[in-house]
Amino acid sequence: MILTVDIGNTTVCVCGVERRETAELSARFCTRLSTVHGKSGMEYAAELRQALEDAGVALTEIDGAVVSSVVPALNDPIHACICEVLGQEPVWITCRSRTGLTLDVEHPEKLGIDRIVDAAWVAANCPLPAITVDLGTCTTFNVIDEGGVFRGGAICVGMATGLKVLAARAAQLPELRLDQVGSVIGRNTEACMSSGAAIGAAAMIDGMVARMEQELGAPATLVLTGGMARYAEPFCTHPHIYEPHLLAKGLLLLYEWNTPAKKREPVRACG
Could you report the per-residue pLDDT of 45-94, keeping only the tens digit for each?
A: 999 999 999 989 999 999 999 999 999 999 999 999 999 999 999 999 99
Residue 199, CA atoms < 13 Å, CB-side half-sphere = 13
Q: Which residue has the higher pLDDT, 29 or 76?
A: 76
Residue 263: is its pLDDT beyond 90? no
| CA dihedral over 106, 107, 112, 118, signed as positive or negative | positive
Determine the pLDDT at residue 176: 63
Which active-site residues does the annotation give?
Answer: 114
Q: What is the pTM of this model?
A: 0.87
98 contacts 188 by C-beta, under 8 angstroms: no
Place 267 in a pLDDT band, splitting at 50, 70 and 90: very low
pLDDT at 261 over 70: no
The 10s digit of each residue's pLDDT in 103-158 is: 999 999 999 999 999 999 999 999 999 999 999 989 999 999 999 999 999 999 99
Q: What is the rounded average pLDDT of the residues 10-31?
A: 78
Q: Cα separation of 225 and 230, whole Å?
A: 8
Reply yes or no on whether the pLDDT at 102 is more than 60: yes
159 close to 228: Cβ distance less than 8 angstroms = yes
For residue 23, pLDDT over 90 is answered with: no
CA-CA distances (angstroms) from residue 38 to 42, 153, 160, 162?
Answer: 11, 32, 24, 26
Q: State the chain's mean pLDDT as an integer.
A: 88
Cis peptide before 129 (omega within 30 of 0): yes
Q: Distances in Å between the alpha carbon of 163 and those of 185, 200, 264?
A: 17, 12, 42
pLDDT of residue 206: 98
With contact defined as beta carbons under 8 Å apart, do 48 and 81 qualify? Answer: yes
The residues near 177 (Cβ < 8 Å, ≥ 6 apart) are: none
Q: Are strands 64-69 and 2-7 parallel, antiparallel or unpaired?
A: parallel
pLDDT value of position 187: 86
> Taking residues 173-185, what's their average pLDDT?
73
Contact partners, residue 233, CB within 8 Å, separation at least 6:
202, 224, 240, 242
Q: Torsion over CA of 19, 144, 94 and 225, rounded to 10 degrees?
A: -50
According to the model, what pLDDT value does residue 266 have? 41
- CB within 8 A of 191, min separation 6: which ones? 182, 183
CA–CA gap between residue 89 and residue 198 (Å, rounded): 39
